[in-house]
Chain A
Amino acid sequence: QKEVEQDPGPLSVPEGAIVSLNCTYSNSAFQYFMWYRQYSRKGPELLMYTYSSGNKEDGRFTAQVDKSSKYISLFIRDSQPSDSATYLCAMGGSGNTGKLIFGQGTTLQVKP
């Protein structure tokens, strides 16, 4: 079993829809949780990070962490075609090196 599980999709939604992306994890030692966005043939770009259970909002994006269930989510409101990309969840803090453990990534397509 992988430490971090993420449905690869693909997920296709119409413009303006609310998108929900999720990851589950098995290592309770993870301390911080991140969402990266990766466009085709580009490096991952950090979207959101959270350090504890609860919600964090930034514009159209909301990150949610439930440590008791080992479950994290990213919500995108009013989705735009420019949001079409692969979304990667990542977790860290289980050791002392800052290495991140990534999910497989979910491919999202927002259709105009």
Chain B
Amino acid sequence: GAGVSQTPSNKVTEKGKYVELRCDPISGHTALYWYRQSLGQGPEFLIYFQGTGAADDSGLPNDRFFAVRPEGSVSTLKIQRTERGDSAVYLCASSLRPGGLSTDTQYFGPGTRLTVL
């Protein structure tokens, strides 16, 4: 079946602009995660959705970052007033069951490479 898809694959924007990054999880997966991966680093947790609600947004770096998942499927990560330091690959992952003490595999998408000029 189809895996996690993310659009766009690449996004180049100017400092101060607003961007939206989209994630389509695997059908039926209730849990959705956003991570950010800077060059030469491992992914860093941003936010976790269980269904429609953000159950853990402790990784969002500041209030310029916001994410939604209005129907419990597709999610959009929104970044306002982008800064050069926001340049990174933004990864989305989904898993079948809610997170917690669960070993459910998190399936990752290919990521969106964001470049802020």
Contacts and interface: CB of A to CB of B under 8 A. Distances in A.
Interface in A1-30: 4, 6, 8
B105 A96 contact: no
B105 A41 contact: no
A74 B17 CA distance: 42
B40 A104 contact: yes
B104 interface: yes
Given A44-B43, A88-B43, A104-B42, A97 B56 contact: yes
A44 B55 contact: no
B42 A88 contact: yes
A99 B40 contact: no
B55 A31 contact: no
Interface residues of B, number: 33
A49 B110 contact: no
A98 B40 contact: no
Contacts of A112: none
Contacts of B100: 93, 96-98
Given A45-B108, A46-B105, A99 B59 contact: yes
B105 A99 contact: no
Contacts of A44: 43, 91, 108
Interface of A: 4, 6, 8, 31-32, 36, 41-46, 49, 51, 88, 90, 92-93, 95-105
Interface of B: 4, 31, 33, 35, 40-45, 48, 50, 55-56, 59, 91, 93, 95, 98-111, 113
